[in-house]
Amino acid sequence: MTIVLSVGIIFLLSGFIQGLTGFGSALLAMPLLCFFLDIKTAVPLCTLNSVVITIILAIQLRSSLASSKIVPLCLASIPGIIVGVTLLKSIDAATVRFLLGSLLVAYSIYNLTASPRPRRLHQAYSWLAGFLSGAIGAAFSTGGPPVIIYTALNKWSKDEIKATLTGFFLFNSCLVSIAHGLSGVTTGQVLMLFAVSAPFVLAGTIGGSRLYRVLPGDKYRTILFVFLFISGILMMDIW
C-alpha cells in the first residue's frame, strides 16, 4: 500500500505539472518512481499515464489543435528516432547529455533575462524541431526540448503553444505505448499500477489546467523556460 500510495502521489504531482505547462510529467515522475519501482516497470507506467494526460489536454484544447502545426513535428520525429537509435550505439551518451543540458541551461537563462520577442518562424523549423526531438528522445530519453523551444519562440498564443505540444506528445506517447505492449514490457504489474495511478494523474492534470487558465501569456512562457532550465540541469547529471 505504501508503494501504491507513493506512486499515486507522484502521478498527482506530475499530472499537475503537465496540466500547467503542457510538458514535464516524465521529468518529475521518472526519477521519483525509480525509488519505488524497477526501471522496466517505471518506464511503461509513465508512458501510459502520459497518454492519459495528453488525451485530457487534447480534449481541453481541441479548438486550438492545428494539424498544420502538429503533423510536421510528428512526421519528422519518425526518421529522427531511427537516427537516434543508430547514434546511441556509437556515441558517449553521458558527454552528449551534459553538452545538451548545458545548452538548455544557457538558452533558458538567456530567454529569462533578455526576454526576446516571439516571432513567426518558417514552417521548415518545425520539421527540424521534430527531427531533433525524435533523435534526442530515442538516444537519451529526453526528446521534448527542441519542440518546446520551437513552440515557445513562435508568435503563438499560450493555447496554441500548449495544444501543439500536447498533440506532439500524444502522438509519441501512443507510439511508445504500442511498442511497449508489443514487446511485452507492459506487464500485469504495470497495468495494475496504471489502474491505481490513473485517477491521481487525472486529478493532477485537471488541477494544473485550472491554474493554467488564469496565467497570462507572458507568465506562461516564463514557466516554459524555467522548466527547460530544470530539464537542462537534470540532463547534465552533475549531482
What is the extent of the structural domain holding 157? 2-236
pLDDT tens-place string over residues 147-172:
888 888 888 888 999 999 999 989 98
Q: How many domains are there within the chain?
A: 1
pLDDT tens-place string over residues 9-64:
999 999 998 999 888 787 778 778 878 888 788 888 988 999 999 999 999 999 99
pLDDT tens-place string over residues 164-216:
999 998 998 888 888 888 878 889 999 999 999 999 999 999 999 999 998 88
pLDDT value at 134 more than 60? yes
3-state SS string for the chain: CHHHHHHHHHHHHHHHHHHHHCCCHHHHHHHHHCCCCCHHHHHHHHHHHHHHHHHHHHHHCHHHCCHHHHHHHHHHHHHHHHHHHHHHCCCCHHHHHHHHHHHHHHHHHHHHHHCCCCECCCCHHHHHHHHHHHHHHHHHCCCCHHHHHHHHHECCCHHHHHHHHHHHHHHHHHHHHHHHHHHCCCCHHHHHHHHHHHHHHHHHHHHHHHHHHCCCHHHHHHHHHHHHHHHHHHHHCCC
* % of the chain with per-residue pLDDT over 90: 31
pTM of the model: 0.82
